[in-house]
Amino acid sequence: MLETSGSTRSRPGYEGCTVSTSLGFRHINYLAEAAVLEHFRSAGLAPGMLYDEFGLGLDVVHIDTRLPKNLHVDDLATLFVKPVHTPDDTRMRFDVTSTVSRAGRSVTNARSTLEVLLRVEPGVDARSTVPAGLERFVTERLGTAEPVELTVDPASRPDLGSGRGTTVGRDSRRDPVLNELIGENNAFGWKWRVPYFYCHFGDRMPVSGFLRLLEEVVDLFLADRGLDVKRVLDERHWIPVVTHSRLDLLDEVRMEEDLYTVYTVEEVFKSLLYTSRMDCYVVRDGRLVPTATGRITHGYMTQRSDGTWELVTFDEPTLRALSGENR
């Protein structure tokens, strides 16, 4: 059953309806992940059973999603899951296509590719041996990123009452590790303690936590550049939109570790879209360990007088802010 294509139907989480009635990229990625989890359940390999019976944690370690159409808060999406891994692959790979009904027609609103590993959970006594055919997807650890020597000492952790941690942007260079990571790049940095509710299995941050992190660092970056989401909504009636997102886990991030996140603007395309990269690190034994990398393509839309939506052409202040000229 796991090697057979299937489908499921699902509605997006109401939490994702943050601007107008369209869903943000994070919740569309959540739907793709949920469809893959449902595919495992249909095959008799529910995530809870994998953990309890075989001592395995199911982890998505790669997700790449393109968003050709919007997803509405009341949409009932049909998600088609197709296994695409080969007999030699050591990761399970699935293509997920999400469709919704528009004016009586089925249209594709998202296309995703996900890769999955089964991580041996420390301290869990497996009751049974791993089913035949799954052994090649089992790993003792998610990723083995190569650490890099640090030339500075990490700053002490800020007081837990300080909120969202330490940021390094236009007006602040307060963290030596972030300063070293950013250098002279057009980038923004954020150091933050990973809370338990971003983690799973009492151990590590899953892909959903990194998707939240990607959304949060974008929010902090925009505020640092004077493009606060609420201000842009109120003053220009611009609604942020994402057309593509990608996330890869390179190593594990433990609960309550300090996570260093660097968000770098890479390219502005025809004054309509900009692409950015997120890189995440932890410091272990005096060395910097890459833990995740992601990319996202952003723009803005506005509603015309006839009710239709169109991409916004960035004005000069926005272009200067995105290019880092005001740093």
Span 172-206, pLDDT tens digits: 567 899 999 999 899 999 999 999 999 999 999 99
Positions of E strands within 250-286 = 258-269, 273-284
Same domain, 163 and 126: no
Residues 211, 260 contacting (CB under 8 angstroms)? no
- CA 81 – CA 150 distance, rounded (Å): 43
Same domain, 192 and 309: yes
Average pLDDT over residues 156-174: 62
Give the model confidence (pLDDT) of 198-254 as tens digits: 999 999 999 999 999 999 999 999 999 999 999 999 999 999 999 999 999 999 999
In the predicted model, is pLDDT for residue 77 greater than 70?
Answer: yes
In the predicted model, is pLDDT for residue 160 greater than 80?
Answer: no
Record the pTM. 0.92
**Cβ of 134: how many Cβ atoms within 10 Å?**
15
Range of the domain at 9: 1-140
Domain C-terminal end among 94, 125, 140: 140
Q: What is the pLDDT of residue 205?
A: 97
Q: Which of 74, 77, 66 is nearest to 106 (CA)?
A: 77
Total residues belonging to the chain = 327
Domain C-terminal end among 105, 140, 175: 140
Q: Which helix (H) or strand (E) holds 233?
A: helix 229-236
Lowest pLDDT segment from 116-130, 197-211, 243-257, 272-286: 116-130
Same domain, 113 and 68: yes
Share of the chain above pLDDT 70, in %: 94
Average pLDDT over residues 261-279: 96
Q: What is the pLDDT of residue 170?
A: 56
In the predicted model, is pLDDT for residue 306 greater than 90?
Answer: no
- CA 172 – CA 161 distance, rounded (Å): 19
Same domain, 111 and 227: no
Query: Structural domain tally of the chain?
Result: 2
Cβ neighbours of residue 195 under 8 Å, at least 6 residues apart? 255, 256
Question: What CA–CA distances, in Å, run from 89 to 53, 117, 134?
Answer: 24, 11, 11
Q: Which amino acid is at 180?
A: E
- 20 versus 170: which is more confidently predicted? 20
| pLDDT band at residue 19 using 50, 70 and 90 as cut-offs | confident
Domain C-terminal end among 140, 157, 187: 140
Same domain, 167 and 21: no
Same domain, 148 and 274: yes
